[in-house]
Structures are given as C-alpha cells and as structure tokens.
Amino acid sequence: MPYSLRVAAPQDAAEIEDLLRKAYGRLLVPDYGGAELAAALPGLSAAYPAFLASPTCFIAEGPCGRILGCGGWSEFSPFRARSFAGLGHVHHIVTDPDHIGSGIGAAIFGQVELSARLAGITRLHALVTRTAAGFFRAQGMQAMGEVAMRITPEIRLPAEEMHMDLAGV
C-alpha cells in the first residue's frame, strides 16, 4: 500500500491513540500476559499533545488519509525529563498490524534518525517492548540490557533498553 510521511499534529491524537491501542493490543500479546497487557494498554496508547505538536513526531498516511504508522523522537525521556545535550529518545515507532512488513516502520525510523542527526543529536536511546526489540536491532540500535519500563507509577513492563550512536557515522 502506498503511503507518505508527514509531521504529526495535535488533531491526529485520537487516530494515533486508536492505532497504538490496535497495534499494541494485537502485537504485544505473545510477549506479555493478558492481565499485564490489559493494565498497561491505556498508558502505552496515550498520545501526548506536546509531543504531537513537535516537529519530531511523524506519521505514515495512506492514500485516503488513514494513519498507518507513527513514531518520533524528543529530547525528553519517556518519563518527561529533559536529557543531556546530544541525547534523543525514540518514542512509539508503531505500524498498523495489518501493514507489518510493508516498510512503514523502517521509513518512520529513517525519518527519526535523519531528523535527530539534523538537530545535532549524537545518540538515540529507546526503551522498547520485547516484541519490538528485533525491529530496532534491524534498524541499527544496540541492546544495552533488560529493564522494567514504567508505564505508570504502578505498572511496569519488561523491556529492552537500546541505543544508537549517530556521531561520526
């Protein structure tokens, strides 16, 4: 299916949240228990307005305007703390489950990497689900180890901490 990339906007929030719920609700099932995933899904699928309003959040849009994927980066950690200079955090690289393998996720990640480089970011960091770790390795990110990803103060999921050096490459 053809698609185009564009910068996300706050008015995309509802459709992005629907995509996140659909993708995470289907794709994470093999790696996380039903109760664990059900508890985490509302936090995983939240679209943050400030991130959607930034020029570093991207969506893949199908020919009829339907959002098929999204993702981006920011200088803020998943816990919304500002990072040190040169560090960017990858957020929500996700593709509609019906379009997995179509190149949408890789195209979004490529845009994330390019945008980060142009902004002077020298290292990308990500906390990724077990399900997504293989995708991120294929994009060139390196595993640092398993961590407990905080979804809410009460809910944590096992995840992989990953990074990618952008300096001098």
Q: Which CATH class is domain 4-125?
A: alpha beta
Q: Is the pLDDT of residue 88 over 80?
A: yes
Mean pLDDT, rounded, for 96-115: 96
Domains of the chain by residue range: 4-125
Q: Which phi and psi angles does 33 have, rounded to 5°?
A: -65, 155
66 vs 156, residue with greater confidence: 66
pLDDT one-digit tens code per residue, 37-50: 889 888 888 888 88
Sequence letter at residue 163: H
Name which of 71, 66, 61 is nearest 141 in CA terms: 71
pTM greater than 0.75 (yes/no)? yes
Give the tokens for residue 43: 């936090």
Query: What pLDDT is stored for residue 153 in this prediction?
Result: 84
Q: Where are the beta strands (DSSP E) in the chain?
A: 4-7, 57-61, 67-74, 87-95, 123-129, 142-150, 156-165
